[in-house]
Amino acid sequence: MENWMIASIAGFVVVVALFGFTQGMPTANVVYDPCDFCEGQAVCAVKDNVARTYENACAANCAGARVLSDGDCLEQ
């Protein structure tokens, strides 16, 4: 096979590979939910007049609760 034919075929394969792998893949429009990445210490928070322990302040805020204090809620 001639060198120019090999180069043409190789170029075509590269172009097809590049366009084939980029079609349908997410790009810059990906939206991340910050509530998926909550970390931290347990907190006591209240929502709808009910106090409960949340894993962290981020999780409490994502649930719509208001943080009362650090740590677990005390039993009453």
13 domain-assigned: no
| Domain CATH for 43 | 3.30.60
The predicted structure's pLDDT at residue 41? 94
Question: Can you give the residue range of the structural domain that contains 57?
Answer: 36-76
10 domain-assigned: no
30 domain-assigned: no
More confident residue, 64 or 27: 64
DSSP state of 71: S
Number of domains observed in the structure of the chain: 1
The predicted structure's pLDDT at residue 14? 45
DSSP 9-66: HHHHHHHHHHHHHHTT---TT----GGGG--S--EEEEETTEEEEESSHHHHHHTTPE
8 domain-assigned: no
What pLDDT band is residue 2 in, cutting at 50, 70 and 90? low
Neighbouring C-alpha atoms within 13 Å toward the C-beta of 63: 21
5 domain-assigned: no
pLDDT tens-digit series, residues 32-71 = 788 888 889 999 999 999 999 999 999 999 999 999 999 9
